[in-house]
Structure 1
Amino acid sequence: MSSSYSYSSSSFSSSTSTSNGQTTGQAYREESSSNLDGTTVRTTTQNLGEKPVSETRQYDAQGRQLVGDTATRGQGKIEDISEEEADKIYRERMEDEYAKREGGA
Structure 2
Amino acid sequence: MSKTLTGSGSITMKNLNGTSGKNCSCGSWLGHWKKFAKASTTPKCHVQGCESHAEVGAHVILPNMKDESLRKLNFIAPMCKTHNGTPSAEYKTKSDSVFVSANKALACGA
Q: TM-score, normalised by structure 2?
A: 0.23
Structure number with higher strand proportion: 1
Higher relative contact order (CA 8 A, sep 6+): 2
Which has more radius of gyration?
1
